[in-house]
Structure 1
Amino acid sequence: MESLQREIADDAVFDDDFGFDPAALSSASPAAQQQLTETPTGSDTESIADTPLVAGVDQAFFDDQAISAVVVLQGGEVVERTHAITDLSIPYIPGLLAFREGGPIVAALETLDCDPDLLCVDGSGRIHYRQAGLATHIGVVFDTPSIGVAKNLLCGSPQESVDDRPTGWRTPIEADDAVDCADGMIIGYAYQSRQYESSNRHINPLYVSPGHRVAVDTTVDLVAALCDGYKLPEPTRLADSYADDLKAELS
């Protein structure tokens, strides 16, 4: 499994290679998106990018089954929802999450009618021992730009302390001895998407990293654009809620 992950990391592209304008990514209304993606040309306007389709991917678990939920947004509007319920074949092993949860996610994405421009995955991308987290696996399988958004840091070291940071704060995550690349290479970011105003409690940052066809610095900018006052990017927040609803129905 580890050798396969190294092959996946070799196939992954950790540079920007996508066909949409990053400025068009937000949770704004379609009308606002249209204004955002147009540039004046004399007395006319010229569209510089189509509003991208962003698929949020998240999962819930029921007994030995994975409930993989996908919610696709375009200009802040939900345009498609789908899911798959599949059996889990291996236990959770740190660093090998993609082999447990990747198949169920692939099954859900294969039922989509649309072709997303960006996959926003609940899990790590390049912040991984072999630079091949869940978001990297999924991105390479579909050859679709993907980003990983994790709630916990799997490996690597933040350049600064992540404690009690304000909304919008970010710091690079550097590779350390646990990561299969040069020490000090920036493999992701800690990003404080939301924070309480009171000093009595705090929200932990997200750990974001490129999965495939997105550069590390661009990744954190995309996540910042997709958050809408919540901790999670809106596509994954809605996918998380959808997965929980499906689980409740099963229960």
Structure 2
Amino acid sequence: MSGIRERFRPDPSMNRTQMEALQRDIARTAVFEDAIDFDPTTVTVDTPTPETPIVAGVDQAFLDDRIVSAIVLTRGEEVVARTYTTSSIEFPYVPGLLSFREGGSILEAFETLTTEPDVIVFDGSGRIHFREAGLAVHIGVALDLPAIGVAKTLLCGQPVVSTDALAAGERVEIVADDEMSAPDGTTVGHALQTRQYPNSHRINPVYVSPGHRLSADTATAIIDRCRGEYKLPEPTRLADAAADEAKEVIE
């Protein structure tokens, strides 16, 4: 793949002020409404049709001082392509600045692909971010492709009602709070219950938010259609497994 917008490539050599300024620029550039050329209701993790879009799942693993970025492209249950890259870790983990730690390696992995996905699903936040520029926003804008963030924990924002004991498939709006640059009360994503067991320990929801060229409602509807047998949606679950497999090969 080519066409990366270099002005948005994360640079870990920046200082924090410069990083946050870039994030604000990215948030201004991001499109948090639907600007897609596929029908989101055709997304599936089952048998594909000719209309089924290609979904990219992205996840990372860590090996000593290196980061492994894995991408798995699927059309329904079919794996279209897999790739990974390894690179040195050049920036520590800092809440709110994850893209400067992981984003460069992810972009390098995308550059090895010959097939462009219709939508990308990241293991990380999208618009649910202090400056509305989580990992999915940053890389989605850099690639100018529809993107979705799926985080396991809520970085900021507030659910409008309790998310305890949701049934599988239920969702709760997440709205901006005073920690975020978005106006208070703006719907920035959803808590989505991807899996639940009625007679055992409770599973927490995931937090879905748009990264680029998708609304909060459509982003969540797509991830709902990517639910499988596990808490993680299938695109990032497959990428997580691919990153772990790559680690074993590298070791």
TM-score normalised according to structure 1 size? 0.91
- Code of the residue aligned with 2:27 in structure 1: it is A
- Code of the residue aligned with 1:64 in structure 2: it is D
After TM superposition, list the pairs within 5 Å mapping 1:87-166 onto structure 2.
87-166=88-167
Alignment partners' CA distance in 1, 2:243 and 2:219: 24
Alignment partners' CA distance in 2, 1:130 and 1:109: 25
Alignment partners' CA distance in 1, 2:64 and 2:155: 25
- Code of the residue aligned with 1:2 in structure 2: it is E
After TM superposition, list the pairs within 5 Å mapping 1:1-251 onto structure 2.
1-30=19-48, 33-34=49-50, 50-198=51-199, 200-251=200-251
Alignment partners' CA distance in 2, 1:69 and 1:78: 13
- Please list the CA deviations of residues 67-123 of structure 1 after superposition, one character each: whole Å capped at 9, or x if unmatched: 000000012200100000011101000000011100010011111110100000110
How many residues of Structure 1 are paired with residues of Structure 2 in the alignment? 233
Alignment partners' CA distance in 1, 2:111 and 2:198: 42
- Please list the CA deviations of residues 205-246 of structure 1 after superposition, one character each: whole Å capped at 9, or x if unmatched: 000000000001111100000112321221111000010111
Alignment partners' CA distance in 1, 2:158 and 2:150: 16
Query: Cα RMSD over matched residues?
Result: 1.0
- Code of the residue aligned with 1:162 in structure 2: it is T
- Please list the CA deviations of residues 164-198 of structure 1 after superposition, one character each: whole Å capped at 9, or x if unmatched: 21111110001001001211111000000000121
TM-score normalised according to structure 2 size? 0.91
Alignment partners' CA distance in 1, 2:191 and 2:135: 18
Moved over 4 A (4+): none
Identity of aligned residues (%): 53
Alignment partners' CA distance in 1, 2:177 and 2:41: 32
Alignment partners' CA distance in 2, 1:250 and 1:161: 43
- Code of the residue aligned with 1:135 in structure 2: it is A
Consecutive unaligned residues in structure 2, runs of 5 or more:
1-18
| 2:6 alignment counterpart | none
